[in-house]
A and B are shown apart, each in its own frame.
Chain A
Amino acid sequence: MGHPCPSCPGGMTTAAEKPIDVPQKPTDASGYAKTMTSKEGKFKVAYTSEPEAMPIGQIISWKLKVQTADGKPVTDAAITVDGDMPEHGHGLPTAPRVTENIGDGTYLVSGIKFSMPGWWIMTFTVKSGDKTDSITFNLQLK
């Protein structure tokens, strides 16, 4: 999320006040991959969406598969979820969360709703034992 902007309606962010590490829109298809390595390389995370097409305006769920860097399933992860539209200064209209640890390093994330087409980012913070790292997926929704 960007910096709060007191003068903006609803505390939205302004372009001028965006932090330095503002998310960058991917320039090629690899930036939209569904399997990514976390920011500091501690985890490998893959997602699948149900339904796969991710319709706008409907509550959908994702399955997250979390592995260590060397490919072992992470079965005890505490995961937080945040979705954002960096170009619009707003997030998801819902507050999704992990509702089930399915086992074998797979987690059910429920309550995701994308409110409009365009570039979205979904950021997950994964904590397992003394290791914490975050991972961001880019999506271009139609």
Chain B
Amino acid sequence: MAAAKAVLSIWGLSLACLLGFPMPVLPASGDSTGQPNLQTLHAYSEEELAQLRSLSLASLPPLPQDPTNAHADDPRARALGKLFFFDPGFSANGEVSCATCHQPATRFTDLLPLAKGMGINTRRTMPLIGVAYNAWFFWDGRRDTLWSQAIVPIENAQEHGFTRTMCAHRISDRYRKEYEAVFDKMPAINHTHCPPHASPGVGNAAALAAWKAMQPADRDKVNLIYANFGKAIAAFVRHILPQPASFDRYVEAVHTKDLARADTLISREAVAGLRLFIGRAKCTNCHLGPLFTNGGFHNVGLPNAPDQGRAQGIDDVLNDEFNCIGKYSDAKSEQCTELRFIDTNRQKYGGAFKPPTLRNVAERPPYMHVGQFKTLDEVLFFYRQSSSNEIEHQQLTETELQQIKAFLGTLSGPISYPR
């Protein structure tokens, strides 16, 4: 980072030399053609510049370590996790993989209001861009590790419709060698000790009865394989990362005072939207940092939302056998700071959901946790009329809403993932 900053400074200095001093005196608000000049258009206070930098991908810290997953940075786990991610064999009908909803071609989402696997789910598919930086997973934060998140859809009847014992069988049959190269030696998986349709989930009575009939030691073996399955997927998914978008290049150009270049990178309408976003519209109250989210949970007053959101997610994560302090986590309990200091005020979090990243937001409609809004126009209109202490977007005009929308369009860049 220090080296990168040094290069930027030198670049800034040489640019100043090239331009020569004194700088030509320009009219304050425009030239003779009535066009606003670049210095005015792209002028920011020191505080605003710091804010722009904080939103830029250049401020994204290195991929955080995951103490709960000892295999998070093992390339073999990543390769295996990629195979798992795209394998529809981990579903009851042999047609649903993680990539059914998290499609690489559409920014790892499915563009549907409600996720569609074996059936129709109750919420929208979440974006996976930069997901490794999250403290909480799912819209309601009902999981606290990426690997424990990855295994939940497997046993959901509307998603993969699978069971963890079926997972163990499939890994034993198809991936034993790859699995053992990453994790420990895999125990023998047979139908006597590991019935193929057994799960502690409450959705399937027969599978639950089969699970209860298993020996505790056998259940533990299956849980370990199931956790490792999630850890391999997480090792892959944590590398789904945003790459610089025109906004990031704009911030760099403004930072290095290359205003002529800055002016070509994003539209003037988007610049006006950016000023609103970090200023009067107060979008950065929740959408902050290079991933444009505070990672918290907020009830923004969405219509038709009987869903309890985070209020339910609190209990779910505390009771999850695969959470950070659980026996299948590789972390020491003192490393589980988010879970240890979880805010359990359920009243405060009724109907609250996580603001997802705004990276690539313009490319992946619809919006909100059940796809309430088809377009960004609808989202912005909703936020303008919604008012509470937490949301105060002031009196924005139609033009200003369009400017913010134009700015949001500058957050779309390539997404990288292990090929």
Interface residues of A (CB under 8 A from B): 4, 8-15, 56-57, 59, 87-97, 110-111, 113, 115-118, 142
* B: number of interface residues (CB 8 Å): 32
Contact, CB under 8 Å: B348 / A116: no
Asked whether B399 is an interface residue with its Cβ less than 8 Å from the other chain, the reply is no
Closest CB in chain B relative to A110 CB, distance in Å: 7
Which chain A residues border B347 with CB–CB below 8 Å?
4, 11
Closest CB in chain A relative to B169 CB, distance in Å: 40
Contact, CB under 8 Å: B286 / A142: no
Contact, CB under 8 Å: A14 / B389: yes
Partner of A94 from the list B47, B301, B341, B390 (CB cut-off 8 Å) is B341
Contact, CB under 8 Å: B348 / A97: no
**A111–B390 CA distance with the chains assembled, in angstroms:** 22
Which chain B residues border A95 with CB–CB below 8 Å?
341-345
**Known A116-B288, A117-B284; 16 more pairs at CB < 8 Å:** A9-B299, A9-B300, A10-B299, A11-B348, A14-B388, A56-B294, A57-B289, A57-B295, A59-B341, A89-B389, A90-B390, A94-B342, A95-B343, A116-B284, A118-B285, A142-B50
Grouping DSSP codes into helix (H, G, I), strand (E, B) and loop, the B interface class, with mixed when no group exceeds half, is loop
CB-defined A-B contacts under 8 Å, sample of 30: A9-B301, A9-B390, A10-B298, A10-B349, A10-B352, A11-B348, A14-B388, A57-B295, A59-B337, A59-B341, A88-B389, A88-B390, A89-B388, A90-B390, A93-B294, A93-B295, A94-B343, A95-B341, A95-B342, A96-B341, A110-B340, A111-B337, A111-B340, A116-B285, A116-B288, A116-B294, A117-B284, A118-B285, A142-B47, A142-B50
Contact, CB under 8 Å: A88 / B285: yes
Which chain A residues border B351 with CB–CB below 8 Å?
9-10
Asked whether B89 is an interface residue with its Cβ less than 8 Å from the other chain, the reply is no
Partner of A15 from the list B284, B296, B389 (CB cut-off 8 Å) is B389
Asked whether B413 is an interface residue with its Cβ less than 8 Å from the other chain, the reply is no
Contact, CB under 8 Å: A117 / B337: no
Closest CB in chain B relative to A115 CB, distance in Å: 5
Which chain A residues border B326 with CB–CB below 8 Å?
none
Closest CB in chain A relative to B298 CB, distance in Å: 7
Residue of A nearest to B337 (CB): A59
Asked whether B200 is an interface residue with its Cβ less than 8 Å from the other chain, the reply is no
Which chain B residues border A10 with CB–CB below 8 Å?
298-299, 348-352, 390
Which chain B residues border A12 with CB–CB below 8 Å?
299, 388-390
Which chain B residues border A93 with CB–CB below 8 Å?
294-297, 343
**A13–B390 CA distance with the chains assembled, in angstroms:** 9
Residue of B nearest to A94 (CB): B341
**A8–B391 CA distance with the chains assembled, in angstroms:** 11
**A95–B47 CA distance with the chains assembled, in angstroms:** 30
Residue of B nearest to A93 (CB): B296
Which residue of A10, A13, A94 has the most chain B CB atoms within 10 A of its CB atom?
A10
Contact, CB under 8 Å: B288 / A56: yes
Closest CB in chain B relative to A85 CB, distance in Å: 9
Residue of B nearest to A96 (CB): B341
Residue of A nearest to B285 (CB): A116
Asked whether B321 is an interface residue with its Cβ less than 8 Å from the other chain, the reply is no
Q: Scoring B residues 318 to 350 as 1 if CB is less than 8 Å from chain A, else 0, what string do you get?
A: 000000000000000000011011111101111
Within 8 A of A (CB), among B282-326: 284-286, 288-289, 294-301
Which chain B residues border A4 with CB–CB below 8 Å?
347
Q: Scoring B residues 261 to 300 as 1 if CB is less than 8 Å from chain A, else 0, what string do you get?
A: 0000000000000000000000011101100001111111
Partner of A11 from the list B297, B298, B300, B350 (CB cut-off 8 Å) is B350
Partner of A115 from the list B294, B344, B348, B388 (CB cut-off 8 Å) is B294
Q: Scoring B residues 345 to 366 as 1 if CB is less than 8 Å from chain A, else 0, what string do you get?
A: 1011111100000000000000
Which residue of B294, B338, B388 has the most chain A CB atoms within 10 A of its CB atom?
B388
Which chain B residues border A59 with CB–CB below 8 Å?
337-338, 341
Contact, CB under 8 Å: B341 / A111: yes
Contact, CB under 8 Å: A57 / B294: yes
Contact, CB under 8 Å: B341 / A110: yes
Which chain A residues border B286 with CB–CB below 8 Å?
116
- Counting from the closest, the 9 A-B pairs by CB-CB distance are A111-B341, A89-B389, A10-B299, A9-B299, A9-B301, A94-B341, A93-B296, A59-B337, A95-B343
**A90–B310 CA distance with the chains assembled, in angstroms:** 15
Which residue of A11, A96, A110 has the most chain B CB atoms within 10 A of its CB atom?
A11
Which chain A residues border B295 with CB–CB below 8 Å?
57, 93, 115
**A127–B289 CA distance with the chains assembled, in angstroms:** 38
Contact, CB under 8 Å: A8 / B297: no
Residue of A nearest to B298 (CB): A10
Closest CB in chain A relative to B25 CB, distance in Å: 34
**A80–B368 CA distance with the chains assembled, in angstroms:** 36
Closest CB in chain A relative to B339 CB, distance in Å: 10
Which chain B residues border A115 with CB–CB below 8 Å?
294-296
Contact, CB under 8 Å: B299 / A117: no
Residue of B nearest to A142 (CB): B50
